[in-house]
Chains A and B, each alone.
Chain A
Amino acid sequence: MNGYYFGQGRARWSPYLLLIPGILIYFLIAMGPSLATTIYSFTNATGIRGAPIQWVGLDNYREFLFMGQASLDNIAALGRTLVFCFFVTTIQFSLGLLVATLVNQRLKGTNFFRTLFFMPVILGAVIQGLIWSLFLYPLGGPMAKILEFFGTSSEFFGGQPSEAFAWVIAVQIWANMGTTMIIFISGLQTIPSDMYEAAKIDGASSWQVFKNVTWPLLTPSVNTNLLLNIIGSLQAWQLFLVLLGYRNGTQVLGYLIYATGFGQTSGSVTSSFRQGYAAAASIILFLLVLVLGLTAQTLLARREKRILG
C-alpha cells in the first residue's frame, strides 16, 4: 500500500524536500505563536514587552474554571458552546448536503443557485451581521412582517437570551452552509457517472442510489465537512460579537476569549493587558476542541477505512 514508485536513494527524498517549505511556514506562523500562547498561559504576562512577567503555574486556569461566580458563568458558556456546536453542525451539515445534491443535478440555473448560496461566505462575518441586523429589525423589518403574517412575533436579538441565541444559530447556519455545500459539490465530482448508470440499470430508486452509491463514495467530503463544522462552530465568535455584543446569558467560549483578549470583560471599562489569562482561556477552548476534534477525526478515519478500504 505504501509503495513509492518514483525512484530509490536520493530520488526518494523528493517528497520530503518538497514538503518542508509548507511545514516550516506552518511551524513559524501557526505553531510557534501557539506554543508561546501555551507558555504565556502559565504566567501573568501582560503582553507588553518590558513589563514584568512571573510564573504563576495553574493560577490562570484555576481562575477561569473555579474562581467564584465568574467561573460558573464560564462553565455555562462552555455548555452553550456545546449546544451551539451540536445544532449548527447537524443542521448545517444536512442542509449543505441536501443543497449540494440538488444543485449537482445540472438543472437550469444551477450556477445561479450555487453562487447565491455561497454569497454569505464571500461577504464575511461583519457584513453578514449587518444584513441580518437589518433583516431581523424588530420594528417593521422584513422578518418581523413575515412572522406577523403567520401570527407570531419575535424580539430577535433583543429578546430573551435563549431566543437571541437561537437566532444566532440560524444566522451561523445561513452564513456557512455555502462552504459545506461547495466541499460536497467537489466531492460529488469524484463519483463517476457510470456508477449511477449502473445503479439505474439495476432499477434502484433514487433513495437507494443515494444510500448505496453516493453516500459511501462521499465519505472523504463527509469527513472534511463534519470536522470543519464541529471545529468551526466550537470556535465561533464573530457573529456573536456583531449581532449580540456582551449580553449576559448568551456568551460562548469563543466570544469570551475574544473579549478577554481585547480587554472587554466586565471587570472594568478600561481594559487591562492580561495576556496570560487570555492565553489560559484560549488553551481551555483549544483543549475542548482538541478532545472533540480528535475524537471525531479518529472515528471518521476508522469509518472511512471500513467503507472505502
Chain B
Amino acid sequence: MRKTILFSIAALVIFSMLLSACGSSDKPAPAGATEAPAAGQKVTLKVLVHQNPPMVEFIEAFNKKFTEKNPNIAIDLAVVNANDLSTVTQTRLTANDVDVVDIFGFANAAQPYMKNVDPPNWQTLIQAGYLMDISDQAFIKNYDEATIKDAGSYDGKVYAINLGRVSYSGIYYNKDMFTANNVKVPTTWGELVTACETFAAAGTPCMTAGGKDGWPIFVGAYGLTGALYPDQSALVEGLWTGSIKWNDAKALEMWEKMKVYAQTMMEAGASGIAGDAAPGRFASGAVAMFPGGTWYASAIEAAEPTFEWGYIPFPGSDNAEDNKYLFGKYDQGWAVAAKTPNKDAAMLYLTEFSEAANYQAFANAVGFIPTQATATLDTQIGKEVAPYLANFRVGYEQYWVAPKGSGQYANPFASYFKPFGTYDSAQELADKVQADLQSGLDANK
C-alpha cells in the first residue's frame, strides 16, 4: 500500500512538472507591449465570444478565411455561455488574456436623473482603462451613426462597434391559418382581440410562448408597453421623477391589456413550454401567433422550412398609427482590450470583419437587423421588419435601472399575471408594482 502511494506521488509530481512546463510556454504576453509585430512574426489573436451556434459557425469560417489571407496571424477563439460572458470578460481583461471581446451594445447607462445607481459593467471597464479607444479607426465609418453613438460610445469616444439590432416587440403569425379563418392581420388592439376570439372559436389556441422560462412572456408583451409609451427613454425618466406611475390611468390600461394577453390570448399550458420549444410549437401549426423576438426566425425556419409566417409589431394601442414601431436592442458587438499586445492584428481583424461583404454575410447568418447602412435585409425576417425599420426604437429594458431598494415587482412584466405569476387583478398588480418601485425611489431621496 505504501509503495503504491509513494509511486503515485512520484508520478503526480512528474505529471505536474510536465504540465507546468507546457503551461509556462503559454503565459499571457506582458501588458503594455504595443509594438506592431515585425512582418512575418507569428501572432495569436485571442477572441472571446458567447455561445450562439449560427454566430459561432460564421465566425469560425470567417477566422479560417482571415488566417489564410494573413498567415502570420493565428486566431484563438474561445466560446462561453452568454450568462458567463460578463464575468469571463472581466477576468480575461484583468489578466490581459484576450484581444478582441464580444460585448453587448452599451445600455442601461446611469442617467442624470437617476440617484445612487451603479454604472453598468461596460462603463466600469472603460473607466478602469480596459477597453481601447477606437474613435480614430477607419472601420467605424462602415456603421451607421446611430449605432456608433447609441451602442458603442462613452464620453465622446468610441469603444465598440455594434454588429446588429434585434427587435423583441413583434408577433410571428401563421399566414395560412389567418387566411383559412378569414382573419385580418391585426393593426390595432381591438383587431388583435377579435382575431384571438375567432381562433378560439375555431378551436385553435391563439398564442404561445416559452412560459416555463418566464422571460418570453414579458418580453413578448414589450410591444404592448411600447405601443402605449412610444418614447421608452422618456418613460424611464418619468418613472424616476414620478411623473409616470405604474398605477396611473394610462398604466392601468396597459395592465388590463396585459391581463387579457396573459390569460386569454396565451394558450393554456404555455407556462409549461420551455423557451426553446416555443418556436417549434408555432412552426408545427399548433397555434396562430407567437409573440417573440426576431431571433426566433432561424429556429422557426429550421423547424419547418416550408412554413409561411409573417412578423408584425405587437398592436398594443387602439390607434393603428401608434402600432408602427419596433422596439428592440443592440445585440453583440466587438471591443478591443486596451492593453492588448496585438493592436495591429486586432484592428486588421475588425477592419476585415466590418467590410461590407463580410458584414452582410454575418448579419444574414445570425439574423440581425444590420447596423451598416449599406447592408440589405435578405432574410425572411429582414423582409418582414423592413417596413418598420425607420421606426426602430431602443426599448425600455435597455434604459431601465432600478433604484436600489426597489422590490422585485418594479417592472412592466405581463408574467406577473396568473398563470405565470400570482396576480389576477390588474388594479392590485398595478398598485403592487408602483409600491415596489416607490419603495426604491423613497429610499434614495
* Contact status B213-A249, CB under 8 Å: no
B442 neighbours in A (Cβ, 8 Å): 68
B440 neighbours in A (Cβ, 8 Å): 68-70
* Contact status A262-B83, CB under 8 Å: yes
Once A68-B404, A158-B211 are accepted as A-B contacts, the answer to whether A270 and B94 lie under 8 Å apart by CB is: no
Interface flag for A269 (CB, 8 Å): yes
Interface flag for A160 (CB, 8 Å): yes
B-contact 0/1 string along A98-121, CB 8 Å cutoff:
000000000000000000000000
- Cα–Cα distance between A70 and B438 once the two chains are bound (Å): 11
Interface flag for B54 (CB, 8 Å): no
Contact of B407 among A73, A138, A159 (CB under 8 A): A73
B-contact 0/1 string along A33-75, CB 8 Å cutoff:
0000000000000111111000000000001000111111100
A-contact 0/1 string along B405-445, CB 8 Å cutoff:
11111110000101111100000000000011001101100
Among the stretches A87-95, A193-201, A240-248, A296-304, the one at the interface with B is A240-248
A137 neighbours in B (Cβ, 8 Å): 272
* Contact status B408-A248, CB under 8 Å: yes
Contact of A68 among B84, B94, B407, B411 (CB under 8 A): B407
The number of A-B residue pairs with CB atoms under 8 Å apart is: 135
A155 neighbours in B (Cβ, 8 Å): 271-272, 419
Least distance between B297 CB and chain A CB atoms (Å): 22
> Which of A47, A137, A246, A270 has most chain B Cβ within 10 Å?
A270
Interface flag for A271 (CB, 8 Å): yes
Contact of A139 among B94, B130, B273, B435 (CB under 8 A): B273
Contact of A262 among B86, B409, B411 (CB under 8 A): B86
* Contact status B107-A249, CB under 8 Å: no
* Contact status B271-A158, CB under 8 Å: yes
* Contact status A273-B404, CB under 8 Å: no
B215 neighbours in A (Cβ, 8 Å): 245
- Cα–Cα distance between A161 and B443 once the two chains are bound (Å): 28
* Contact status B271-A161, CB under 8 Å: no
* Contact status A139-B272, CB under 8 Å: yes
> Which of A50, A71, A246 has most chain B Cβ within 10 Å?
A50
> Which chain B residue has the least Cβ–Cβ distance from A144?
B272
Interface flag for A165 (CB, 8 Å): no
Interface flag for A157 (CB, 8 Å): yes
Among the stretches B65-73, B119-127, B174-182, B369-377, the one at the interface with A is B119-127
B-contact 0/1 string along A261-302, CB 8 Å cutoff:
011101111111110000000000000000000000000000
* Contact status B405-A46, CB under 8 Å: no
Contact of A270 among B83, B108, B407 (CB under 8 A): B108
Once A48-B125, A50-B128, A246-B214 are accepted as A-B contacts, the answer to whether A271 and B120 lie under 8 Å apart by CB is: yes
Once A48-B130, A68-B407, A262-B87 are accepted as A-B contacts, the answer to whether A268 and B422 lie under 8 Å apart by CB is: no
Query: By the criterion of a CB under 8 Å from any partner CB, how many residues of chain A are at the interface?
Result: 42
- Cα–Cα distance between A158 and B127 once the two chains are bound (Å): 41
Least distance between A59 CB and chain B CB atoms (Å): 10
A268 neighbours in B (Cβ, 8 Å): 108, 120, 400-402
Q: Which of A158-176 contact B (CB under 8 A)?
A: 158-161
* Contact status A266-B402, CB under 8 Å: yes
Q: Which of B106-120 contact A (CB under 8 A)?
A: 107-108, 117-120
* Contact status A156-B272, CB under 8 Å: yes
* Contact status B119-A272, CB under 8 Å: yes
Least distance between B120 CB and chain A CB atoms (Å): 4
Least distance between A296 CB and chain B CB atoms (Å): 31
Interface flag for A214 (CB, 8 Å): no
A139 neighbours in B (Cβ, 8 Å): 269, 272-273
- Cα–Cα distance between A157 and B271 once the two chains are bound (Å): 9
Interface flag for B63 (CB, 8 Å): no
* Contact status A269-B107, CB under 8 Å: yes
- Cα–Cα distance between A271 and B401 once the two chains are bound (Å): 10
- Cα–Cα distance between A72 and B440 once the two chains are bound (Å): 12
* Contact status A272-B124, CB under 8 Å: yes
- Cα–Cα distance between A274 and B86 once the two chains are bound (Å): 12
- Cα–Cα distance between A67 and B440 once the two chains are bound (Å): 8
B443 neighbours in A (Cβ, 8 Å): 67-68
* Contact status B86-A158, CB under 8 Å: no
Interchain Cβ contacts under 8 Å between A and B, 28 examples: A48-B124, A48-B125, A50-B129, A68-B403, A68-B405, A68-B407, A68-B439, A68-B442, A68-B443, A69-B407, A70-B405, A70-B440, A133-B212, A133-B274, A137-B272, A138-B212, A138-B269, A139-B269, A158-B419, A247-B214, A269-B400, A270-B104, A270-B398, A271-B121, A272-B120, A273-B90, A273-B118, A273-B124
Known interface pairs A155-B271, A266-B410; 16 further A-B residue pairs with C-beta atoms within 8 A, sorted by A's residue number = A50-B130, A51-B124, A69-B439, A69-B440, A73-B407, A73-B408, A139-B272, A156-B272, A158-B271, A159-B271, A267-B118, A268-B400, A269-B108, A271-B120, A272-B120, A272-B121
